[in-house]
């Protein structure tokens, strides 16, 4: 698989140290990891797609083999467009597995040639989620251990507005 391309989709609002950990792990398995921001109109976000692209470009600039993009529509269409052979998903807990398992089976039905690869984060990131990080920031808590330094101040400022 090291000669292959994988797509790591997500909202990344904000990108967390857990996301970065999964990206680093994935680049050890694949020639290229495309980090794809899924543009879902139903989901409210703190940062615009353009801001999230910029954040990912900043924090992934020192990780060889990564490419940042955004996509609309079905994940399986983005997989085909980018000629990916796998979708990378991070699993933090058993509660993540049920949803991710259903999605993986549906994606397999829509694109049988694409596998889903589940990666466990390092233990120190296993409890981090963008939702929790946003909530901590809203209440004035210290988010610096959980997100890249380049994003922490911007997130705090944004949630104060």
pLDDT band, very low/low/confident/very high, at 139 (cuts 50, 70, 90): very high
Mean pLDDT of the chain: 90
Distance CA 114, CA 84 (A): 7
Distance (Å) of CA 103 to CA 1, 52, 87, 114, 150: 22, 23, 11, 12, 32
Model confidence at 32: pLDDT above 90: yes
Residue with more model confidence, 159 or 92: 159
| 16-25, 30-39, 121-130, 142-151, range with the lowest pLDDT | 121-130
pLDDT score, position 41: 65
Distance CA 107, CA 67 (A): 22
pLDDT score, position 136: 93
Is residue 22 within 8 A of residue 8, CB to CB? The reply is yes
Q: Where are the domains of the chain?
A: 5-160
CA dihedral for 155, 123, 98, 113, sign (positive or negative): positive
Q: Would you list the DSSP string of 91-127?
A: --SHHHHHHHHHHHHHHHHH-TT-EEEEEPPPGGGTT
Cα dihedral 148/126/10/161 (nearest 10): -50
Residues 80-130: tens digit of each pLDDT: 999 999 999 988 776 778 788 888 888 888 888 889 999 988 889 888 889
| Average pLDDT score over residue span 135-160 | 91
CATH architecture of 5-160: 3-Layer(aba) Sandwich (3.40)
Up-side HSE of residue 28: CA atoms within 13 Å toward CB? 6
Active site residues: 19, 43, 92, 130
Model confidence at 2: pLDDT above 70: no
Model confidence at 1: pLDDT above 70: no
Q: Which helix (H) or strand (E) holds 153?
A: helix 149-160
| Average pLDDT score over residue span 38-64 | 91
């Amino acid at each position: 698989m090291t000669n292959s391309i994988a797509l790591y989709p997500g909202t990344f609002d904000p990108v967390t140290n857990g996301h970065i950990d999964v990206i680093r792990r994935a680049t050890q398995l694949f020639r290229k990891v495309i980090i794809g921001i899924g543009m879902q109109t139903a989901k409210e976000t703190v940062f615009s797609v353009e801001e999230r692209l910029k954040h990912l470009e900043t924090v992934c600039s020192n990780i060889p083999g990564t490419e940042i993009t955004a996509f609309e529509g079905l994940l399986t269409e983005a997989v085909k467009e980018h000629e990916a052979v796998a979708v990378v998903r991070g699993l933090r807990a058993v509660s993540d597995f049920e949803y991710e398992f259903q999605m993986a089976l549906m994606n397999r039905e829509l694109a049988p040639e694409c596998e889903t690869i589940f990666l466990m984060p390092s233990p120190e990131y296993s409890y981090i989620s963008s939702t929790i990080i946003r909530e901590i920031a809203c209440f004035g808590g210290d988010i610096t251990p959980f997100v890249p330094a380049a994003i922490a101040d911007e997130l705090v400022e944004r949630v104060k507005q």
